Structure formats: C-alpha cells, structure tokens
Amino acid sequence: MAHPQISDFWNDATRPLHNGHLPDANGLGRSDLDEGRPSEGLVMIVDKRALERECLARGLIEHNPTLRVSAVGSLDEIQHIAGDEEPSAILVILGARKVTDQNVRAELAHLISEFGTVPVIVVVDSDEPGEVLAALECGARGYIPTSVTVKVAAEAIGLARAGGIFVPASCVLALREIIHSTANGVRPLSGMFTTREAAVVEALRTGKANKIIAYELNLCESTVKVHIRNIMKKLKATNRTEVAYKLRQMLL
C-alpha cells in the first residue's frame, strides 16, 4: 500500500497510547487495570494542535481502554508512528476549516487515496449539510461534528471500522428538509432562472470552476459570481455543493 512520504519527526507526544497506557510527564507508560485485555487496531488522530489531539486521544481511551490511539501533528507523521501496521482508522481534525475549501478538499482526497481501504473520518466544527456532502464525496467514512460527546465519536469510529458511514443526525434532518422543500416549493428550472442563470446552473451541475464558466459563457468572473449568488438565493443554498445537491433532486 502506498503511503505519503514522511519526515523523521518523533517525540514522546506522538507515541502510541496502548490499551489505556497514558504517558506521564516523562513520556513513560503507566499500567492500568485492563492489562491482558485484547487490544483493537491502531487509531490515528491527526491535528496540528497538540492539546486538542491529546485530549481527544485520552477521551477515546477512557471510553474504551482496549483502543490503541496515536496522536500526530501532520499527515506525514502517520506512517512513521504506525510503522508496518496499517491503521484501522484515521481521524482528521479540521476544526473550523471547511471541507468545501478547495485546498482542504484536495488534502483530504489525497489522504483517502493514499491509504486506500483505511476509513478516514473528519472531525469538524460545522454540521452544515453541504460540508457533510463534500466530505462524503471525497470518500470520507464519517463526519463527526465537535458538538457531539466522546461516546458518540467512539461509536462513529467503530461504525466506520466495521464498514459503515457515520453522519450526524442534525445533517440527516436538514437534508430531509431540503428534499421536502425541493419537492414541494421549487419551480422547474425553466421558470426559476433567467437564461444566463440557467447556463451557469448547467455548468455548476458538471462541477466547472468559475474561471471555466466565465470563459465558456464569455463573461467576467465577477459576473459569474453574481449569477451564482442569485442561484444560491433562489435555491436557499449556502454553498456550491448544496446547490449541486438541490439541482440533482430537482431533475430526478
């Protein structure tokens, strides 16, 4: 299995926490009451913020002492810590970053591609439907908003490791509302958009970038952005991903 190239980074803060062995101030493991209990596969947490990743690692181990968790600061450190062992799951902590951001999306898609069958789960502050859909489109096997408890996060990890996909209930309910409003309140495309907006809509459905749309329609990029804002307003969408989703539902 191909993995990203990694650096020679290694320190006590990134050593795996095995079977509930939490490192003390000197980085040494201390035994617990679960010695001898069979351990589960290695779960990797990726977050550049040391406090955030270490707190989550400890929370997961306290919830399930059989877990082995390693917390690292970058994607390049994953293979260094895991060694020859393939992780059973990788948690990417995005925080306030948006999956719909082009750079974030590219980074996530690259990680998922490099690690193949290893389930990748994102942990994000937002639970907006558009963000969830963008993560799933990249191939993520779970989307955990930071508003959930450690117990829910642990169950989401377990579901992804078992082959399932976790999305927050709030997102499912929001998507249901989107589908309902589309089915009952959205007019046909021909009566909803101007001729120029309809052309932009068709380009958005195929995933074209603003620059490409502007070139093909002989428009300024700023004009394309105005059309997109109007389209989003008419569809009551908050981003391009949600626009694409609603358009697909309208054309079913």
pLDDT tens for each residue of 15-54: 444 444 444 332 323 334 344 444 568 899 999 899 999 9
On whether both 160 and 208 belong to a single domain, the answer is no
pLDDT tens for each residue of 43-86: 999 998 999 999 999 999 999 888 889 888 887 787 776 666 78
By CB neighbour count within 10 A (0-12 exposed, 13-18 middle, 19+ buried), where does 63 fall? middle
Q: Which three-class secondary structure string do you get for 222-246?
A: HHHHHHHHHHHHHHCCCCHHHHHHH
Write down the pLDDT at residue 183: 55
Write down the pLDDT at residue 89: 92
Q: Is 179 among the domain residues?
A: no
Angstrom distance (rounded) from CA 188 to CA 209:
24
pLDDT tens for each residue of 134-161: 888 888 999 998 888 999 999 999 999 9
| Residue 208 DSSP code | -
Q: Is 215 among the domain residues?
A: yes
Q: Is 177 among the domain residues?
A: no
The domain in which residue 189 lies consists of 184-250
Angstrom distance (rounded) from CA 130 to CA 62:
33
Write down the pLDDT at residue 42: 86
On whether both 164 and 189 belong to a single domain, the answer is no
Angstrom distance (rounded) from CA 95 to CA 7:
24
On whether both 149 and 239 belong to a single domain, the answer is no
Write down the pLDDT at residue 175: 63
On whether both 25 and 70 belong to a single domain, the answer is yes
Across residues 109-117, what is the average pLDDT?
A: 86
Q: Could you give the 3-state DSSP secondary structure of residue 193?
A: coil
On whether both 195 and 154 belong to a single domain, the answer is no
Angstrom distance (rounded) from CA 70 to CA 145:
20
pTM here is 0.58
Helix (H) / strand (E) element for 89: namely: strand 89-95
What are phi and psi for residue 90, nearest 5 degrees? -125, 125
Which of residues 147, 170, 193 is at a domain's end?
170
Q: Is 107 among the domain residues?
A: yes
Write down the pLDDT at residue 180: 58
On whether both 132 and 25 belong to a single domain, the answer is yes
Amino acid in position 204: L
Q: Cβ of 115: how many Cβ atoms within 10 Å?
A: 21
pLDDT tens for each residue of 213-237: 888 888 888 889 999 999 998 888 8
| Residue 201 DSSP code | H
Write down the pLDDT at residue 90: 93
pLDDT tens for each residue of 162-202: 999 998 877 776 666 555 555 555 444 556 778 788 888 88
Q: Is the predicted pLDDT of residue 120 greater than 70, yes or no?
A: yes
On whether both 125 and 189 belong to a single domain, the answer is no
The set of residues, in sequence order, having a beta carbon less than 8 Å from that of 71 and lying 6+ positions away, is 13, 14, 17, 44, 45, 47, 50, 53, 54, 56, 57
The pair of structure tokens assigned to 81 is: 């810590």
Of residues 143 and 207, which shows the higher confidence score?
A: 143
On whether both 59 and 121 belong to a single domain, the answer is yes
The pair of structure tokens assigned to 136 is: 């799933």
Write down the pLDDT at residue 157: 93
Helix (H) / strand (E) element for 209: namely: none
Angstrom distance (rounded) from CA 178 to CA 183:
9
On whether both 19 and 104 belong to a single domain, the answer is yes
pLDDT tens for each residue of 77-104: 877 766 667 888 999 999 889 888 888 8
On whether both 42 and 94 belong to a single domain, the answer is yes
On whether both 163 and 68 belong to a single domain, the answer is yes
Q: Is the predicted pLDDT of residue 208 greater than 50, yes or no?
A: yes
CA distances from 1 to 44, 47, 51, 141 (A): 17, 23, 31, 19
Q: How confident is the model at residue 117 (pLDDT cuts 50, 70, 90)?
A: confident
The set of residues, in sequence order, having a beta carbon less than 8 Å from that of 174 and lying 6+ positions away, is 128, 129
Angstrom distance (rounded) from CA 167 to CA 155:
11
